[in-house]
Structure 1
Amino acid sequence: MQINDLGVVLLLALIVFIIVIITKGIVIVKQAQVIIIERFGKYLQILTPGINWIIPIMDKPHLMEWRENRDYMDGSGRVRSVPITEMRNVIDMRETVYDLPRQSVITKDNVGIEINALLYFQITDPINAAYKVESLPTAIEKLTQTTLRNIIGEMDLDQTLTSREIIKSKLQVILDEATNKWGVKVNRVELQDIIPPAAIREAMEKQMKAERDRRAMVTEAEGTKTAQILKAEAVRESEIKKAEGMKQAAILEAEGISEAKIKVAQAEAEAVKIVASTVAQSSNPASYMISLKYIEALTKMTEGKDNKIIYMPYEASNVLGAVAAIKDLTGGVPAAK
């Protein structure tokens, strides 16, 4: 009985051991993650997303240093991001954002500035990332810092402040080429802050203020100039319109006078024709007209209460002839009874 009981105990222990081994050997890998398995310290395989099985004790996951940013609230109530380094047996294949700490660099014209950047990278080959570099996050950080110093050291301060795109593109190309052997793809780089010294910032602010004042003065002067030009053009247009109006009025007045004179001349001609046809029956029409003008002229000369004119006709027969002609025209005046 004791032997049988011992056999049962051993059998139960074996079953429990097998169950533990199977349980410990089941590894579930999440999507977009992989696990590198080593057997007795040597690379064995990569576990892909899903249910996988390994032999416990013999197979172990490779531990890899990983760094991520974690937010915390400081004493002033502001949220700050701090990089945390830890050892993981899971390799994340998704794109990772790494906030590089702020560092001091010197420009080509010997001006010290502070700069920090964001690095977006992705592990494409987990085997190279695990075995080709000792600490992938540290290597990427140091490579980015030294590369950034070299790029900024070749540029002046003004060029550094205005050439963010050039700096980002150069930094991305250099980092992508350098990290390719580590199984890492650098997708893009973003510069967060470029902070010059306080004295430089104060001088830049003064320069910007002076530039804004200059632009305001130029804008005001251009506005005044435009207003004066528009005003002069308006006056010129007004004078032109006025002159054209006066010209048109003078033309119309002249045309009116001309038409009036034509009408008067036509009326006189018509009167002369009528008089001529009437006078021709009894006397000379020419003598009649001369006598009529002579009398009109004599009447105008004697107008005015202060005028004293002594008129001596040079030929009395002309006056008598004119009177006779008028008498003939009118048919004579009947004598008073």
Structure 2
Amino acid sequence: MGNTFCGVIGCIDQASIGVVEKWGRFDKLAQPGLNLFNPFAGEWLAGVMSTRISSLDVRIETKTKDNVFVQLLCSIQYRIVTQNADDAFYELQNPKEQIQAYVFDVVRAVVPRMTLDELFEQKGEVAKSVLEELEKVMGAYGYSIEHILMVDIIPDAAVRKAMNEINAAQRLKLASVYKGEAEKILQVKRAEAEAEAKFLGGVGVARQRQAITDGLRENILNFSHKVEGASAKEVMDLIMITQYFDTIKDLGNSSKNTTVFIPHGPGHVRDITEQIRNGMMEGASAEIKIE
């Protein structure tokens, strides 16, 4: 402690307290600073004790309610009560072992009543139980318990691995649910887009056919008025034949086509005319229904 003695003079450091005996019995406490002793009267400095806060780390292994072995690292901060330093000096030979024994006793009585999850959630309650027991016991020996800290809770390695695997499995399950919901939404949106595209395509085809029908009707009416004696059917046949030959011409001029076989002859031309006329009429009927 750095205390010095010289005959009847003793110097005690700050944050320390001296124990003075007289003829082998406790006489008084010597405060920090310069102290005088009378060796002829049997006075002498029996010892010096520090009043600083000390820390003691205790590692305890115990079992939880759900049969999981855990190690708890407990830090106890304590100090000597200045007024009762004589009790601390004379009553306990090894205070650290005494504190450690009480910590073991309390922790092994409280923790087995908790599950592992409850222990992590209520470690403050364990520390509080240890503090209450130590204050009651160690206070009688001149010690003050300042703080109890549950520094760490360490389950068995196999238990930690299993807990990590359970957590990972739960997260993977949640990720799979989110992924499935995303794929479901994507498929629904894709189906809606495809249905909308088909609907709009059908509307476009119907309108195209209606435009062709309107154009043919206008051409037939104009031709009938300008050429006397021409009926609407004859004009329609003439227009269909003209479009038929234009189509054959376009097929022949297209470089992307190879060989196309189509029936050709007066009878076939008549059949094609009938087919085109029927198609136009069906297109006009479909457009009317859509509108």
TM-score range, shorter chain: 0.5 to 0.7
* Structure 1 residues 51-107: Cα deviation after superposition (integer angstroms, max 9, x where no partner): 3122142432343xxxxxxxxxxxxxxxxxxxxxxxxx2x2222211133x555465
Deviation string 1:171-228 (CA, Å, 9 cap, x unpaired) is 22332344344341231233556565xxxx64x3674476257336525632541442
The 5 A counterparts of 1:34-183 are: 34-40=17-23, 41-48=25-32, 51-57=33-39, 58-63=42-47, 89=48, 91-100=49-58, 102=59, 105=62, 117-123=74-80, 125-131=81-87, 134-135=91-92, 136-156=95-115, 159-160=118-119, 163-181=122-140, 182-183=142-143
**Residue aligning to 2:145:** 185
TM-score when scaled to structure 1?
0.50
Structure 1 runs not aligned, ≥5 long: 1-21, 64-88, 272-287, 308-337
- Alignment root-mean-square deviation, CA: 4.7
Determine the C-alpha separation between the residues in 1 that align with 2:21 and 2:62: 42
SS in 1 for 2:37: coil
**Structure 2 Cα separation of the partners of residues 110 and 295 of structure 1:** 106
Q: Please name the residue that 1:231 is paired with.
A: 186
Mapped to 2, the partners of 1:150 and 1:298 lie a distance apart of: 109
> Are the equivalent residues in 2 in contact too, given 1:37–1:47 (CA < 8 A)?
no
Do 1:164 and 1:191's aligned partners in 2 also have CA atoms closer than 8 Å?
no
- Kindly state the Cα deviation for residue 229 of structure 1 after the two structures are TM-superposed: 1.7
Match of 1:28 in 2: 11
Would the aligned equivalents of 2:79 and 2:144 in 1 still touch at CA under 8 Å? Answer: yes
Aligned partners of 2:183 and 2:65: how far apart in 1?
49
Secondary structure of 2:110's match?
helix
Residue 53 of structure 1 aligns to which amino acid in structure 2?
N
Q: Secondary structure at the match of 2:18?
A: strand
- Opposite residue 185 of structure 1, the aligned amino acid is I
The aligned amino acid for 1:176 is: E
Structure 1 residues 299 and 146: alpha-carbon distance in aligned structure 2, compared to 1, 3 A threshold: closer
Answer with 1 or 2: which has the greater Rg.
1
SS at match of 2:230: helix
Alignment partner, residue 9 of structure 1: none
Q: Any unmatched runs of 5+ in structure 2?
A: 242-264, 268-291
Q: 1:99 to 1:298 in 2, by over 3 A?
A: closer
Asked whether 1:211 is paired with 2:170, we answer: no
Mean Cα deviation higher: 152-161 or 162-171? 152-161
Deviation of 1:139 after TM superposition, in Å, equals 3.1
Indicate how the Cα distance of structure 1 residues 242 and 46 shifts in structure 2: closer, same or farther if over 3 A, else same: farther
CA contact (8 A) 2:15 2:52 kept: yes
Offset, 1:292: 5.2
SS at match of 1:221: helix
**Is the partner of 2:105 in helix, strand or coil?**
helix
- CA deviations on 1:140-185 (whole Å, 9 max, x unpaired) are 2322222222213433566557653432232223323443443412
User: Percentage identity across aligned positions?
Assistant: 13
Other structure's SS at 2:52 match: coil
Distance 1:169 1:294, change over 3 A: farther
Say yes or no: does 1:242 pair with 2:197: yes
Distance in 1 separating the partners of 2:53 and 2:205: 88
SS at match of 2:187: helix
Instruction: Return the offset for 1:121.
Output: 1.6
Distance 1:215 1:126, change over 3 A: same
**Aligned partners of 2:138, 2:15: CA distance in 1, in Å?**
21
Partners in 2 of 1:161 and 1:298 — Cα distance? Answer: 95
Q: Count residues in correspondence.
A: 231
CA distance in 1, matches of 2:232, 2:67: 110
SS at match of 1:295: coil
Q: Give the direction of change, closer, same or farther, for the CA distance of 1:297–1:163 in structure 2 (3 Å limit).
A: closer
- AA in 1 matched with 2:144: V
Amino acid at match of 2:50: D
